[in-house]
Structure 1
Amino acid sequence: MSCGRPHAVPCSEVLEQVYVYLDGELGAEEIARIRQHLDECAPCLEEYGLDQLVKSLVARCCGHDHAPDALRQKILARIREIRVELSRPE
């Protein structure tokens, strides 16, 4: 996904880090870079909003259960694979 405009941080990088961003696991500099991109890029902001909604729904439905680290890594890897598949031209 890309809006077609150049950004300091490419859309692909922002989308790859969106869950880490949502989890508050980035440093201040990375947060600022991603926030700036989201302020400039409507498609990425829309994807961020969808990811934020999914995270909120999962948190509400699953309470405070934490996924094992290995499961979390498998899920993130699969998300990256799907994004690559979706970004390939048909």
Structure 2
Amino acid sequence: MTAGQGADADPAVPAADPTFTQIDCSTVIADVWLLLDNECDPGARSRLQGHLDRCPSCLERYGIEKDLKALINRKCGGDLAPKGLRERLTIEIRKTVIVHEQRLSDG
């Protein structure tokens, strides 16, 4: 379902607006963190931002997530994991990648 259609549709988002890039509201909400963390490509950023500019309910949700991210950064921003934990995690991640690559090569 795209924005402006179906039960979850926001009546403020016109479905027939040709300048509005049709994108599902649930997709926007799922990708909010990518936008907040600057982890999406320029095309995705443009589509997400365009949707937020035209969808008040998604923009409100974006604002909540942005505030939550800022709060987490204020409260936990300077905390670092202990060196031993970081090393163990790095080892486990490498093991997982190796196992995954072996499974892919084994077919």
TM category, shorter: 0.5 to 0.7
Larger RCO, structure (CA 8 Å, separation 6 or more): 1
Contact 1:38/1:45, CA 8 A, preserved across alignment: yes
Q: What do you get for the CA RMSD once the two structures are aligned?
A: 2.4
Does residue 3 (structure 1) correspond to residue 10 (structure 2)? The answer is yes
Relative to structure 1, is the Cα distance of residues 66 and 45 closer, same or farther in structure 2, using a 3 angstrom cutoff?
A: farther
Name the residue aligned to 1:74: none
Q: What CA distance in whole angstroms lies between the structure 2 residues aligned with 1:66 and 1:39?
A: 36
Higher helix share: 1
Name the residue aligned to 1:24: 38
Aligned residues: 69
Name the residue aligned to 1:14: 28
**Aligned partner of 1:10: which letter?**
D
Deviation at 1:44, TM superposition (A): 0.1
Unaligned runs of 5+ in 1: 70-90
**Aligned partner of 1:16: which letter?**
A
Structure 2 residue matching 1:3: 3-state secondary structure: coil
Unaligned runs of 5+ in 2: 1-7, 16-20, 90-107
Misfit runs of 4+, over 3 Å: 4-7, 64-69
Name the residue aligned to 2:55: 41
Q: What CA distance in whole angstroms lies between the structure 2 residues aligned with 1:2 and 1:31?
A: 21
Relative to structure 1, is the Cα distance of residues 31 and 62 closer, same or farther in structure 2, using a 3 angstrom cutoff?
A: same
